[in-house]
A and B are shown apart, each in its own frame.
Chain A
């Protein structure tokens, strides 16, 4: 009996506030005469008509495809370059000011330049995503590689662990919590840039669809697109968290042990 109560309480806590918020939106917008603030009921109504499997294939899939390619490229390049730079004190000092400057540039302002340089196709859009998402990965990798436990450094030296084995077993693993922080930030930035790259000079995509609905004055459809975008953001974040839990399973164990000792 008390277990049912516990489960109910859990579900109530998770769904309670969201349900209240959605209900508030539903009822306050129900009588809306504002053209640009349609009732929530209308938005829900157009959902199945708008997001047909055809549209998902035509627009959502290309968007996500570009996101995945750009994101993975940014992560791979960021980690590779970050390990190289982070392992060498001189390289770190040499590159630090330049990298700090480059990462401070808001990525969307590079879009006009990237259009000139790379055209208006998928290559350019992926490039936009990489140009912004690489920085958190790169800088966090450098930071992670830089600050590893000196005891472990000595241990590796004593046991003459070098080269690829040292890289995989020691450097990457020790730096992985920091790297994952960077990867998380990169995912958020990559999603933002995916949308921005589709606001200008695009032929398909989620961001493109939202803009087209606005152009055609189909406002409930536009709102539905915004909601879809939000949901995708949430799902991606969840996905990444699952990956993180897997990759950092050793780290979470260590931290839990530390905390229980406190």
Chain B
């Protein structure tokens, strides 16, 4: 009797949960349908300033014009986005250039399709910067032997910091890196758990507001530094080349739109991050050119080899469009 009751309860729970579970569906693969129905596409992004153009493109109907219905999924970093793109869970993804170079060198089947964002070119007014709190750290070479926070290891941030230190004459290999999510960096610097942090907007403005000194930026590496790209799996490229082309065109348009409508880009931020509208006014926006700056990517590849992330430069022609 008791067994029947408990078995019944277990079965009901199981069935009910499975029914409810199946309704929370995973995004389906885009259908090669006629012009009437948009292709459903999921893009993996990070909830930062850099991806404002794609959100803007969706909300302004640019993607719909190209027959694409966009859904964005937020992740902490490229580490989670790349596998999801490779497995087909996402159709496209956003990732920093260095992570993509690493992936390419390990033969991960991906290919970049569109530009993500670039440095503003101004070392004092860039959207990503290296900050210190200790007045004794006067220039980047003082960071030798110290701890620097980066959002993920082996990405563009730690490569940039190493380049900044090397440019100033310090030994880049002697800088220690700790992985911390962007929001946790300011409290860590405040408490003295790290000696320097490299943050991007909106955290950059917050760091400036605290009166911390900026001693480096993306622009130090290259004034046109390409920071991130949108990419897809090689499988999708062979199976649905038309979809990829439409996505690329829509992305270029969205980037151009964001570049010419900075205030709308700022307003867009409040829809996908927890930044308040008032705080968006003074944020430094990255550059959003439609074309990929191959020179700076080549430079990054060289730096990655110098710092031991890569054994040799990958073939950029297979990675970039």
Contacts and interface: CB of A to CB of B under 8 A. Distances in A.
Nearest to B83: A36
B179 A35 contact: no
B69 to A, nearest CB: 28
B152 A215 contact: yes
B177 to A, nearest CB: 8
Q: Is the interface of B mostly helix, strand, loop or mixed?
A: mixed
Contacts of A120: 178, 180, 188, 193-194
Contact of A115 (B82, B155, B184): B184
A121 B79 CA distance: 24
Nearest to A215: B154
Interface size class, chain B: 20 to 34
B102 A216 contact: yes
B153 interface: yes
A202 interface: yes
Interface in B281-296: none
Interface string A90-120: 0000000000000000000000100110011
B123 to A, nearest CB: 28
A202 B177 CA distance: 9
B194 A218 contact: no
Contacts of A115: 184, 188
Interface stretch (B54-62, B104-112, B260-268): B104-112
A35 B86 contact: yes
A11 B251 CA distance: 62
B178 to A, nearest CB: 6
Given A120-B193, A203-B176, A215 B188 contact: no
Interface of B: 79, 82-83, 86-87, 99, 102-103, 105-109, 152-155, 176-181, 184, 187-188, 191, 193-194, 309
Given A203-B176, A212-B154, A216-B102, 13 more contacts: A35-B109, A36-B87, A115-B188, A119-B191, A120-B178, A120-B180, A200-B181, A201-B178, A201-B188, A215-B99, A215-B153, A216-B154, A217-B108
